[in-house]
Amino acid sequence: ELKVEQNPLFLSMQEGKNYTIYCNYSTTSDRLYWYRQDPGKSLESLFVLLSNGAVKQEGRLMASLDTKARLSTLHITAAVHDLSATYFCAQDKEGGSEKLVFGKGTKLTVNP
Amino acid sequence: GAGVSQTPSNKVTEKGKYVELRCDPISGHTALYWYRQSLGQGPEFLIYFQGTGAADDSGLPNDRFFAVRPEGSVSTLKIQRTERGDSAVYLCASSIPGGVEQFFGPGTRLTVL
């Protein structure tokens, strides 16, 4: 059974600071996803990581995948208020139905 | 281009009533997924369609929940004898054949009084 655990669940940080959100998963699937959700809105795809060592960057966000450690990280560089949202990581099982199993999410608040 | 659309955006119903939630996927996306998101939680998988058939319905919580996709495009999630615990946001997603990325709709917020 796929399990995905994120930490921290809540993160309050100041603008300009750096921080990392961690996502541990339970199986050896090589596919890991990061989504952003604003309050009352749907999920916006940020990154799809498909292989060990994959690193993707978009603006102030960088995601990486270590399949041996079953760990993905989402690193925030020089946070700005607009990054305030809830971030979810999710995993699926290649060759299965491709249903996504989500973590509980990390609610990020960036304070001025 | 048009994304995944869901109607209604909000639905308030009374306990015991029947509801239907509709999802219109991105054109050409043969895979369609339903998820349920409770307050403060991540989305939980309900059912997956590949074309017209339900390829995986292992996430449906009980037999009060049913979904159809008769023509391989629009899907309807049907909930009978609604209970207060069914209150959640129901999300629909779609993807291209063989695609790894799922694109989510805006969701339907269901409130059962």
Looking only at Cα atoms, what is the longest distance across chain B?
40
Give the pLDDT mean for A72-79: 96
Which residue, A112, A111, A15, A32, is CA-closest to A72?
A: A32
Q: Which of B37, B38, B47, B108 to mutate to test the interface with A (most CBs of A within 10 A)?
A: B37
pLDDT attached to residue B1:
56
Does any CB of chain B come closer than 8 Å to the CB of residue A2? no
- Report d(CA A103, CA A32) in Å as an integer: 11
pLDDT attached to residue A112:
87
Query: What residues are paired with A39 via a beta bridge?
Result: none
Contacts by A60-69, CB closer than 8 A, 24 or more apart: A63/A34, A65/A30, A65/A32, A67/A28, A67/A30
Q: For residue A95, what pLDDT band results from cuts at 50, 70 and 90?
A: low
pLDDT in tens, B30-65: 999 999 999 989 999 999 999 999 989 999 999 999
- Report d(CA B20, CA B92) in Å as an integer: 13
pLDDT attached to residue A97:
56
Chain B neighbors of A90, CB-CB under 8 A: 42
pLDDT attached to residue A3:
87
Residues A19 and A80 sit within 8 Å (Cβ to Cβ): no
Percent of chain A with pLDDT over 90: 73
DSSP sequence for A47-110:
EEE-STT-EEEETTEEEEEETTTTEEEEEE-S--GGG-EEEEEEE--TTTT---EE---EEEEE
Phi, psi of A83 (to 5 degrees): -80, -5
Q: Per-residue pLDDT for A18 more than 60?
A: yes
pLDDT mean across residues, chain B: 94
Does any CB of chain B come closer than 8 Å to the CB of residue A104? yes
Distances (CA, A) of A64 to A21, B52, B67, B83: 11, 36, 36, 41
pLDDT mean across residues, chain A: 91
pLDDT in tens, B4-23: 999 999 999 999 999 999 99
Q: For residue B83, what pLDDT band results from cuts at 50, 70 and 90?
A: very high
Phi-psi region of B107 (alpha: psi -120 to 50; beta: other; left: phi over 0): left
